[in-house]
């Protein structure tokens, strides 16, 4: 594994499908691709139980693997689904987008949504007309299961640039920047922003760099708690990055997008998807128990684990995870590689928590799957 994959920016070289919509804690695609290449084979079924925005899942598909992806967050699951089930061409996406535009216009003519039912904190982000239109778009795209277009819409939901829908705000995590961009000085940033034009431009950007993809390969996208998943036919490899315990709040940090997707209680979601030490380690224990049965004998389980300063004394998290796998569930440790996370890559600068990431490569020591099933 070349460490430069880790620190260099992949923004200009990765597939633009990786840029559909931002995701806090996203794995670098330039790190995901070599891990998939090194530890899985063409035609394998690769399982990512904590898929986030689908970086491993998409890189596995692109490399000719069948893919099963899963994430408990509805937002993460949407973006993963969009990447695994995209339109085959930009033209196809554009045609469908025009069909959806007609439906949205019809719905707007029928009166659209009652904004009084929208929580104030959501209303604060948008001009009322932009919000009404966005709500119609979300409804039409959800009802018609247009996941790719919906992920594109989530990708332009908030930012300070003119191509986005909200008042000036940050891109990854939703907070307004009204002081930095006062209404009196930047009146244009507070005007109505038509959705359709921005969505058209976003779809075009999404198709800027698309690799050759084999649509015959099997792809599944699930949204359950990882330890509950079982696969009768097994999987050949697991490549994933579990939640960065206590350091990232996947619900809170995606709260605006989650609200539009029908999840208005991000606190409750965070109790499940942003676990603290004890529940994180218990989750890993349950997962390894399950994975030992589902992963083919000698199959690789590759984990990218964030290190963490813990209040409870788990001073080396990757070691703890590795210990659970090897001592508790009969995996063998093949290799462990640690690197610092450059400060510029951290979503929250100055955070004293995660300072490094470790790639743990484990192998299922089981002799046969049936014996353990
Ligand atoms: C480090 S992120 C994965 C990042 C991903 N590799 C990417 O590139 O976006 C961990 C993910 O685990 C998900 N998650 C947390 N607990 C989960 C659980 N019990 N079951 C399934 N997914 C869970 C979170 O929603 C989060 O998206």
Residue 84 lies in a domain: no
Give nearest CA residue, ligand 1 atom 13.
50
Per-residue three-class SS string for 341-352: CCHHHCCCCCCC
Q: DSSP assignment of 236-301, as one string?
A: SEEEE----TTT--TTGGGHHHHHHTT---HHHHHHHHS--HHHHHHHHHHHHHHHHHHBPTT-EE
Index of the ligand 1 atom closest to the CA of residue 50 = 12
Residue 83 lies in a domain: no
Residues of the chain with pLDDT under 70: 1-7, 245-246, 308-315, 340-355, 369-373
Pair 262, 363 in one domain: yes
Q: Confirm if 260 and 154 have CB atoms less than 8 A apart.
A: yes
The best mutation among 248, 273, 275, 341 to test binding of ligand 1, ranked by most ligand atoms within 8 Å of the C-beta, falls on 273
Pair 322, 273 in one domain: yes
**Structural domain boundaries, residue 256:** 4-74+212-372
Q: How far is the CA of 342 from the centre of ligand 1 (A)?
A: 21
Give nearest CA residue, ligand 1 atom 27.
52
Index of the ligand 1 atom closest to the CA of residue 53 = 9
Give nearest CA residue, ligand 1 atom 10.
243
Q: How far is the CA of 244 from the centre of ligand 1 (A)?
A: 8
The DSSP secondary-structure symbol of 43 reads: T
Residue 294 lies in a domain: yes
Helix (H/G/I), strand (E/B), else coil: 146: coil
Q: How far is the CA of 240 from the centre of ligand 1 (A)?
A: 9
Domain boundary among 184, 206, 228: 206
Write down the residue that tokens 């998290």 correspond to: 317
Pair 227, 367 in one domain: yes
Pair 194, 262 in one domain: no
Q: How far is the CA of 98 from the centre of ligand 1 (A)?
A: 33
Pair 153, 227 in one domain: no
CATH, residue 63: 3.40.50.150
Pair 127, 253 in one domain: no
Pair 220, 119 in one domain: no
CA-CA distance, 121 to 124, in Å (whole number)? 5
Pair 228, 358 in one domain: yes
Q: Which residues contact 12 (CB under 8 A, 6 or more apart)?
A: none
From the number of C-beta atoms within 10 Å of its C-beta (0-12, 13-18, 19+), residue 177 rates as middle
Pair 197, 323 in one domain: no
Tokens coding 60: 């596995």
Index of the ligand 1 atom closest to the CA of residue 55 = 8
Q: How far is the CA of 52 from the centre of ligand 1 (A)?
A: 5
Write down the residue that tokens 């743990």 correspond to: 360
Angle, to 10 degrees, between the axis of helix 128-143 and the axis of helix 147-155?
160
CA distances from 145 to 21, 45, 78, 82, 142 (A): 17, 25, 10, 10, 5
From the number of C-beta atoms within 10 Å of its C-beta (0-12, 13-18, 19+), residue 210 rates as middle
**What is the distance of C-alpha 257 from the center of its chain?**
12
Q: How far is the CA of 180 from the centre of ligand 1 (A)?
A: 32
Residue 223 lies in a domain: yes
Q: Which residues contact 111 (CB under 8 A, 6 or more apart)?
A: none
CA distances from 370 to 7, 18, 77, 366 (A): 42, 37, 30, 10
Residue 85 lies in a domain: no
Residue 79 lies in a domain: no
Residue 201 lies in a domain: yes
Pair 288, 355 in one domain: yes
Q: How far is the CA of 242 from the centre of ligand 1 (A)?
A: 6
The best mutation among 243, 269, 279 to test binding of ligand 1, ranked by most ligand atoms within 8 Å of the C-beta, falls on 243
Q: How many structural domains comprise the chain? A: 2
Index of the ligand 1 atom closest to the CA of residue 76 = 27
Give nearest CA residue, ligand 1 atom 24.
273
Q: How far is the CA of 169 from the centre of ligand 1 (A)?
A: 25
Tokens coding 171: 């891109």
Pair 236, 175 in one domain: no
Domain boundary among 169, 186, 206: 206
Residue 80 lies in a domain: no
Pair 161, 238 in one domain: no
Domain boundary among 158, 180, 206: 206
Give nearest CA residue, ligand 1 atom 17.
273
Q: How far is the CA of 313 from the centre of ligand 1 (A)?
A: 23
**pLDDT at position 186:** 96
**pLDDT at position 341:** 58
In this structure, the residues whose C-beta lies within 6 A of any atom of ligand 1 are 23, 25-27, 50, 52-53, 55-56, 70-73, 76, 225-226, 241, 243-244, 250, 272-273, 283
């Amino acid at each position: 594994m070349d460490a430069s994959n880790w620190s260099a920016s992949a923004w200009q070289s990765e597939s633009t499908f990786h840029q559909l919509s931002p995701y806090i804690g996203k794995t670098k695609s330039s790190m995901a691709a070599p891990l998939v290449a090194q530890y899985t084979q063409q035609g394998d079924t690769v399982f990512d139980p904590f898929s986030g925005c689908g970086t491993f899942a998409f890189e596995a598909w692109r490399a000719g693997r069948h893919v099963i992806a899963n994430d408990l967050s509805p937002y993460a699951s949407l973006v993963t689904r969009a990447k695994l089930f995209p339109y085959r061409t930009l033209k196809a996406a554009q045609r469908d987008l025009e069909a959806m535009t007609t439906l949205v216009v019809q719905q707007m003519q029928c009166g659209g949504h009652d904004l009084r039912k929208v929580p104030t904190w959501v209303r604060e982000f948008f001009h009322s007309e932009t919000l009404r239109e966005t709500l119609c778009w979300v409804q039409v795209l959800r009802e018609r299961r247009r996941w790719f277009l919906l992920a594109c819409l989530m990708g332009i939901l908030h930012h300070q640039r003119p191509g986005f829908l909200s008042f000036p705000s940050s891109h990854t995590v939703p907070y307004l920047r009204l002081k930095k961009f006062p209404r009196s000085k930047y009146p244009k940033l507070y005007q109505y922003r038509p959705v359709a034009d921005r969505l058209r431009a976003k779809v075009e950007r999404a198709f800027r760099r698309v690799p050759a993809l084999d649509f015959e390969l099997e792809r599944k996208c699930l949204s359950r708690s990882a330890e509950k998943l079982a696969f009768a036919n097994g999987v050949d490899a697991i490549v994933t990055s579990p939640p960065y315990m206590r350091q990232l709040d996947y619900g809170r940090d995606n709260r605006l997008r989650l609200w539009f997707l029908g999840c208005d209680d991000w606190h409750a979601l965070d109790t499940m998807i942003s676990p603290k030490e004890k529940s994180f380690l218990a989750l890993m224990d349950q997962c390894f128990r399950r994975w030992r049965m589902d992963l083919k004998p000698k199959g690789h389980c590759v984990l990218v684990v964030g290190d963490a300063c813990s209040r409870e004394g788990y001073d080396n998290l990757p070691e703890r995870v590795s210990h659970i796998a090897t001592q508790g569930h009969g995996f063998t440790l093949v290799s462990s590689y640690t690197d610092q996370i450059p400060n510029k890559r951290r979503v929250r600068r100055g955070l004293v928590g995660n300072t490094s990431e470790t790639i743990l490569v484990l192998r299922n020591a089981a002799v046969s799957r049936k014996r353990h099933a």
